[in-house]
Structure 1
């Protein structure tokens, strides 16, 4: 599932291509036909990302909400689009460009009130807020739940996925299995700041890099990481490989229905 930095990149891209233009919407697949018919021909006013949620705001105070989920993809291009291939849920054409959305978990039309309700049930977005609200900090430090599960909870922090959470915990030296109540408020705020900085870099670069310069391949004389997620990381999907700092084999175990990755020496 794409993490928040990817959604923010998509929002910026779609704003650049379509904001300020009247656009035509269709649903070649048919599952978004009613929504496309309702909005087609309207002005696309703006786009935004909140956590892992993408919003296209149209004239008439209506918005398209997209959550890519595990399988959703978005492609775009210039000029006249070719006939649709595959299950295109939504096609947007306007301003000399086109966009195709395939396989999202959700693609629906929301009112202003429904957009507000969506935001209200989400936690703070590290790419939108410089500080984690005090209530969210308290929720973490008072909880018996594993800290990794708390950081992945989108009602506490919106946009952070398994890659960023695994890496921020490593950089903080905190085991993913530690209960939230064993972590200090200062540590939570420090991880929030680190998360915001890493995700902002992800928006700029289009990939997730979490290792310090001293641990990059060229500095360590090691081969670059080869993984479909790209970027250089400390523990994510490096099971059994040596920790870049201490050499201990990276561990993996199930946690809250997800894989968790950590170094048993560097994280406690």
Structure 2
């Protein structure tokens, strides 16, 4: 599932390409035809993201809400737009660009009140200027839940997925099974700041890189990572391989139905 940086990157792209002008909105597939008809030809006021949710605001009562889920994708290019290919749920056509949405978990029209209710259920988003890290801290510190589970709870922090979860814990030497209530406040402050930096970098690069300069391939002489997710990471999807820092075999297990990765030496219990 795309993590928060992907949605913020899409929001920035669509803000640049479509906002401030009328947009042709359609549903070639037909499943969003009624919703598309409500905003077709209207001016896109803004595009924004909160966690893994994307919002195209056409008016206070006509907001297109998209959650990509596991299989959703947005693609596009400069106009003219080609004939739709495959199951295109939503097509946007502006003055200079077009964009197609396929396979989302959610594509719907919401009112301002409904968007507020949705966002109120979400935790702070490290990529938003209005994010309040104290809100996340309050939820974590009151919980006996393992920190690895808490970090994936979108009501605690919005936008973190499996990659950022595993890498953030490694970078701060924190074992994934440590209860949230055992977390030191100063450590949490450092983790939040690091997360903001990493996710902003993810928006710029369109991939997740978490490895520090001294551990990069050009510094250590190792081969670059080859993985469909791209980016240089410490432990994510590296179970059974040597830790890039200490050489210990990276561990892996399933926790709360998601794959978990950590270094037993660098992240002691």
Between the aligned partners of 1:182 and 1:6, the Cα distance in structure 2 is 31
Structure-2 residue corresponding to 1:102: 102
Structure-1 residue corresponding to 2:191: 191
Between the aligned partners of 1:178 and 1:188, the Cα distance in structure 2 is 13
Structure-2 residue corresponding to 1:71: 71
Shift of 1:21: 1.2
Structure-2 residue corresponding to 1:149: 149
SS of 1:22's partner is coil
Structure-2 residue corresponding to 1:250: 250
Divergent runs of 4+, >6 A: none
Between the aligned partners of 2:32 and 2:159, the Cα distance in structure 1 is 25
SS of 1:48's partner is strand
Spell out the pairing of 1:214-225 with structure 2 (5 A cutoff): 214-225=214-225
* Contact residue 28 and residue 90 of structure 1 kept, 8 A: yes
Structure 2 spans left out of the alignment, 5+ residues = none
Between the aligned partners of 1:181 and 1:200, the Cα distance in structure 2 is 27
Matched, 1:134 2:130: no
Structure-2 residue corresponding to 1:120: 120
Between the aligned partners of 1:257 and 1:213, the Cα distance in structure 2 is 32
**TM-score normalised to the size of structure 2?**
0.97
Between the aligned partners of 1:7 and 1:73, the Cα distance in structure 2 is 10
Between the aligned partners of 1:175 and 1:209, the Cα distance in structure 2 is 20
Q: Deviations over 1:188-237 (max 9, x none)?
A: 22211111110011111111110100000000000000001100000000
* Contact residue 141 and residue 180 of structure 1 kept, 8 A: yes
Spell out the pairing of 1:223-262 with structure 2 (5 A cutoff): 223-262=223-262
**TM-score normalised to the size of structure 1?**
0.97
Structure-1 residue corresponding to 2:3: 3
Between the aligned partners of 2:148 and 2:252, the Cα distance in structure 1 is 13
Structure 1 spans left out of the alignment, 5+ residues = none
The alignment yields a C-alpha RMSD, in angstroms, of 1.2
Between the aligned partners of 2:96 and 2:182, the Cα distance in structure 1 is 54
* Contact residue 124 and residue 135 of structure 2 kept, 8 A: no
Shift of 1:60: 5.5
Between the aligned partners of 2:204 and 2:96, the Cα distance in structure 1 is 25
